[in-house]
Amino acid sequence: MPRKKAVKTPPAMIHGYAPYNAKKGEEYMNEKQREHFKLLLLAWKQELMEEVDRTVTHMKDEAANFADPSDRATQEEEFSLELRARDRERKLIKKIDSTMELIDADDYGFCSQCGVDIGIRRLEARPTATLCVDCKTLDEIKEKQITGG
């Protein structure tokens, strides 16, 4: 019986882009890597902006003055949840913009506390990361100690 060839599954797309495949011996945060993350961040920002536009349109279209107080309260709660989500996205857009500035200044991909490489895989998972795994872990431990959580 002939052996089947292993089928390679394509990498998961992140905001329409395949993860960066670093080549052996490739310099960290070279021009190609910075360009990859810049395009990834721009695509992510575009998605967020489109979501904002959809929310505004949805709220205009769905806004109604219900006679029933329960219906009115339900709609207000729904709108409140949407606005809270958009506020989080607004903050994320600001973080994306500041990350783009880091890329332009050639400071992207390095921990803001200790200066080591953050790493391509971590940046793929969280393109706006500014801390390496070790510093982020320490921050979380300190936060738990302070908040008691």
Considering the domain architecture, whether residues 39 and 77 belong to the same structural domain is answered as: yes
Q: What is the pTM of this model?
A: 0.78
21, 111 Cβ separation under 8 angstroms: no
CATH number (domain holding residue 75): 1.20.120.910
The count of structural domains within the chain is 2
Neighbouring C-beta atoms of residue 143, cutoff 10 Å: 10
pLDDT at 2: 55
pLDDT reading at 73 higher than 90: no
- In this structure, the answer to whether residues 77 and 121 fall within a common structural domain is no
| 104 and 115 co-located in one domain | no
Give the range of the structural domain holding residue 92, as residue numbers without chain letter. Answer: 30-108
Per residue in 79-115, pLDDT (tens digit) is: 899 889 989 999 999 999 999 999 999 999 999 999 9
Is the same domain home to 96 and 115?
A: no
95 and 148 share a domain?
no
Residue 1 lies in a domain: no
**pLDDT at site 103:** 97
pLDDT of residue 4: 57
